[in-house]
Homo-oligomer: A and B are copies of this chain.
Amino acid sequence: MTDDAELSDLLTLRLGYLVKNAYLDLAALMARALEPYGVHPKELGVLSVIAADGAERSQNELASAVGMDRTTMVAVIDDLEGRGLVERHRSARDRRRNVVTLTEAGAVCLRDAERARTEAEEAYLAPLDAEAAQALSETLRILHRAHGAARSAPAHWPAPAG
């Protein structure tokens, strides 16, 4: 005589369901939080990587940094450029490379959207006490280093210095 509530509970015992739901819940929350600024979470990651760096980054490098294919990056940059948030120009040193830079509007958008992202993360973690929230991030970083290293560090990129 298992009722429906217990049937749902069955799946919350599975790590896979918990992690998948965490991803879907947070992704939906983030997409809603960024909507007023006209950017998708994926685009915000790209803008952040561009801004994080004084060096000129090509589309290919941006794609590797955020973990998407370079063919997918083309459309992302197309959109961002069409909305005036980034600019493309050919690298002088290597004319195959498209160097992507932030416009002023892009910098403003990034700043505002980043604040919205931070607030959304805080809202997502609000049900937890500070200790548990801190532990969650640290735990996920450990798991990322252990399991996701291959995907996050493309073979054609230079190795870390230290």
- With A10-B48, A48-B10, A135-B135 in contact, is A140–B18 under 8 Å at CB? yes
Q: How far is the CA of A54 from the CA of B3 in the complex (A)?
A: 10
**Using an 8 Å CB-CB cutoff, how does the interface string of A120-162 with B read, 1 for contact, 0 for none?**
0100111110001001110111111111100111000111110
Instruction: State whether A66 touches B135 (Cβ < 8 A).
Output: no
Instruction: State whether A22 touches B23 (Cβ < 8 A).
Output: yes
Question: Which of B16, B26, B52, B127 meets A41, CB within 8 Å?
Answer: B16
Stoichiometry, as copies per complex, reads 2
Instruction: State whether B161 touches A21 (Cβ < 8 A).
Output: no
Question: Which of B5, B22, B66, B148 meets A161, CB within 8 Å?
Answer: B5
A-B contact pairs, 20 of them (CB 8 A): A1-B55, A2-B53, A10-B48, A11-B49, A12-B144, A14-B121, A16-B41, A16-B121, A17-B45, A18-B137, A18-B144, A19-B26, A21-B144, A21-B152, A22-B23, A25-B143, A25-B147, A29-B147, A127-B146, A132-B135
